[in-house]
Amino acid sequence: MDLSKKLTLESVLEGQVLLFDKPLNWTSFQVVNKVRWLLKKKFNLKNIKVGHAGTLDPLATGLLILCTGKMTKKISEYQGMPKTYTGCFLLGATTSSYDLETPIDQQFDTNSITAEQIEKVRKQFLGVQQQYPPIFSALKQQGTRLYELARKGEEVKTQAREITLYSFDLESVDFPTLHFRVQCSKGTYIRSLANDFGKALNNGAHLTQLRRTAIGTYTVENAISLEDFEVLLM
């Protein structure tokens, strides 16, 4: 993403689509706030509209689309595009958050799992299906984020939603770790996919690594790091 010539005050206010490679342990909102601060500082603005087009969990990296100015009106269009992810499932253990945010709460014997079973389960998840979001998510229950309730130990209920997996491939198996690539619809939680995959094996699984590589035709190869963006604005 070459911004060296087109990132001007006029272009930022009129609206820019910025592709960022979100770093590990940053929230999507932290990236938005950082970019907004950098733009305000660079162009001496009191305020500038900046929003992201699809949350990435803090433990995930990869493509985050940000829109500035008038382009924020089109955020919903980018949110509706198919997403592509790569990452890892670890079989034999579950966590309440379905990833590494919370400690392992249950362990399973994986010795009886075969390659044939894994392949059969993989095929089961292709296409349209119902998925329950994790209780550790940014969805709201009576105005409160679910993860806030879950961290307090309060009861959290989620409702199933229709999602689609357009493709779901296991690129390699380093048992009990499965390396996957998935292209999916808006609203898909890869953490839930990991948990459901373990259940389908009559076992357990959780997400240990996640990277978003594409949103529609936009790819992480064309994204910029926060560090490089900051240097660009100097």
Report pLDDT digits (tens) over 177-218: 999 999 999 999 999 999 999 999 999 999 999 999 999 999
Q: Which two tokens stand for residue 198?
A: 């373990």
102 & 190 share domain: yes
pTM: 0.92
Measured distance CA(147)–CA(134) in Å, rounded: 9
Q: Is 1 within a domain?
A: no
- Give 106-148 pLDDT, tens digit per residue: 999 999 999 999 999 999 999 999 999 887 766 666 666 666 6
Q: pLDDT at position 52, please?
A: 96
Among candidate residues 111, 104, 70, 93, the one with its CA nearest the CA of residue 197: 93
108 & 71 share domain: no
113 & 196 share domain: yes
Measured distance CA(197)–CA(157) in Å, rounded: 20
Q: Which of 36-40, 69-73, 151-155, 159-163 has the lowest mean pLDDT?
A: 151-155
Higher pLDDT, 103 or 140: 103
| pLDDT surpassing 80 at residue 221 | yes
53 & 116 share domain: no
Q: Is 188 within a domain?
A: yes
222 & 112 share domain: no
Higher pLDDT, 155 or 89: 89
Q: Is 3 within a domain?
A: no
The per-residue pLDDT of the chain, averaged, comes to 91
Measured distance CA(63)–CA(77) in Å, rounded: 16
| pLDDT surpassing 90 at residue 150 | no
Q: Is 70 within a domain?
A: yes
| pLDDT surpassing 60 at residue 27 | yes
Q: Catalytic residue at 169? A: no
Question: What is the amino acid identity at position 32?
Answer: V
Q: pLDDT at position 145, please?
A: 64
Q: Is 156 within a domain?
A: yes
Annotated catalytic residue within 2, 21, 57, 109: 57
How many structural domains comprise the chain? 2
Q: Which two tokens stand for residue 188?
A: 């898909």
Domain residues for the domain of 223 are 9-80+218-232
111 & 167 share domain: yes
63 & 102 share domain: no
How many CA atoms within 13 Å lie on the side-chain side of 215?
Answer: 30
Q: pLDDT at position 111, please?
A: 95
For residue 98, the domain's CATH number is 3.30.2350.10
* 51 sits in which H/E element: strand 50-52
Instruction: Give SS3 for 143.
Output: coil
Angle at 51 between CA 47 and CA 54, to 5 degrees: 170
